[in-house]
Amino acid sequence: MSWHLVGKESHEPTKSVAVGDIHIGGSEIVVVAGPCAVESESQIIETARTVRAMGASLLRGGAYKPRSSPYSFQGLAEDGLKLLHQAKEITGLAIVTEVMDPRDIELVARYADLLQVGSRNMQNFPLLRELGRCGRPILLKRGLAATIEEWLLAAEHVMAQGNDQIILCERGVRTFEPMTRNTLDLAAVSLVKQISHLPVIVDPSHATGRWRLIQPMSLAAVAAGADGLMIEVHPAPDHALSDGPQSLTPASFHRLMQSLGPVARAVGRDLPGEKRE
């Protein structure tokens, strides 16, 4: 097996990854929620308070945004990291945010608990190697057109440098289908759970591009064996500086969270704070 560090024998369980006091890959379904990008103090603090009250365990929000166009909003950079840190101090939520450049790792790691490698950087090998030495857990998103093997080998690059704290994130792959932003590959989630010990979470927001598909695809992801979800939530999606059409309002996020419990329990999982007897 060419990914011997991230692979496993079929009977071995997933090895959970700790982010602060949250364990991803155990019995609980962990929900990461927050806006695509950190836009302002009020936006991120309000979102953090809301998603925490509704059961999210981690706050997401990009400070360095990989945008297709150089003329789109690129993120608030270090100011965005400071706002995320402020949101953590207020709510206690652990922070996940993207790092795009090996030169920014030290700075981002000062503010964030979990460092995200975005889809566009899944095969940025110098970045992966540096993250393998950074001593922080990594959220590795699947590349836009990456095979499952390439995704696992990207994780292997991080692990080969000594960092085994890796969570994989399926976020859809590019196909011939234009009616959804990407095509959510749930078979990949079940397969990777069978052949690797790494926890896998699903991001239905980038996978579909449509807020109305987030709830059904989240339920399907949990049923398929995902260890968690990453959901874009914005207080006013119509005014979001990025990814508004795929962002949930607080009300629709609340409905999603309410609906997860029965599906989680049906596949032998719990939501945080809902431990079974």
Q: Which residues bind ligand PEP (CB under 6 A)?
A: 36, 62, 66, 98, 118-120, 141, 171, 206
Size of the site for Mn ion (CB under 5 A): 2
Q: Give whichever of 47 and 119 is closer to ligand PEP, judged by the CB atom.
A: 119
32 CA to centre of own chain:
6
Question: Which sign does the torsion angle of CA 63, 68, 70, 73 carry?
Answer: negative
Does 36 interact with Mn ion (rule: CB under 5 A)? yes
- Asked whether 149 and 3 are in contact (CB, 8 A), the reply is yes
Tell the smallest beta-carbon distance from residue 186 to ligand PEP (Å).
16
Distance, in Å, from the CA atom of 144 to the CA atom of 19, rounded to the nearest integer, reads 26
Amino acid at residue number 187: A
Q: Which of ligand PEP, Mn ion, none has residue 126 at its interface (CB below 5 to 8 Å by kind)?
A: none
Q: Give whichever of 28 and 170 is closer to ligand PEP, judged by the CB atom.
A: 170
Helix, strand or coil, per DSSP, at residue 159: helix
Tell the smallest beta-carbon distance from residue 10 to ligand PEP (Å).
29
Tell the smallest beta-carbon distance from residue 48 to ligand PEP (Å).
16
- Tell me the window of 44-52, 66-74, 209-217, 239-247 that interacts with Mn ion (CB under 5 A): 239-247
Helix, strand or coil, per DSSP, at residue 109: helix
Does 154 interact with Mn ion (rule: CB under 5 A)? no
Q: Give whichever of 38 and 87 is closer to Mn ion, judged by the CB atom.
A: 38
Question: What totals of helices (H) and strands (E) does the chain contain, helices first?
Answer: 9, 10
Cβ-closest position to ligand PEP: 118
- Tell me the window of 8-16, 18-26, 32-40, 177-185 that interacts with Mn ion (CB under 5 A): 32-40
DSSP H or E stretch at residue 114: strand 114-117
- Asked whether 41 and 50 are in contact (CB, 8 A), the reply is no
The residue with tokens 């431990």 is 275
Distance, in Å, from the CA atom of 10 to the CA atom of 91, rounded to the nearest integer, reads 39
Tell the smallest beta-carbon distance from residue 65 to ligand PEP (Å).
7
From the list 207, 243, 256, 264, which residue makes contact with Mn ion (rule: CB under 5 A)? 243
Within 13 Å of residue 183, how many CA atoms lie on the same side as its CB?
11
Tell the smallest beta-carbon distance from residue 36 to ligand PEP (Å).
6
Tell the smallest beta-carbon distance from residue 141 to ligand PEP (Å).
4
Distance, in Å, from the CA atom of 58 to the CA atom of 96, rounded to the nearest integer, reads 7
- Asked whether 189 and 232 are in contact (CB, 8 A), the reply is no
Tell the smallest beta-carbon distance from residue 201 to ligand PEP (Å).
11
Distance, in Å, from the CA atom of 163 to the CA atom of 121, rounded to the nearest integer, reads 18
Q: Give whichever of 118 and 228 is closer to ligand PEP, judged by the CB atom.
A: 118
- Tell me the window of 9-17, 105-113, 216-224, 238-246 that interacts with Mn ion (CB under 5 A): 238-246
Q: Give whichever of 115 and 269 is closer to ligand PEP, judged by the CB atom.
A: 115
| Phi-psi sector, 185: left (phi>0), alpha (psi -120 to 50), beta | beta
Does 39 interact with Mn ion (rule: CB under 5 A)? no
Binding site residues, Mn ion, CB under 5 A = 36, 243
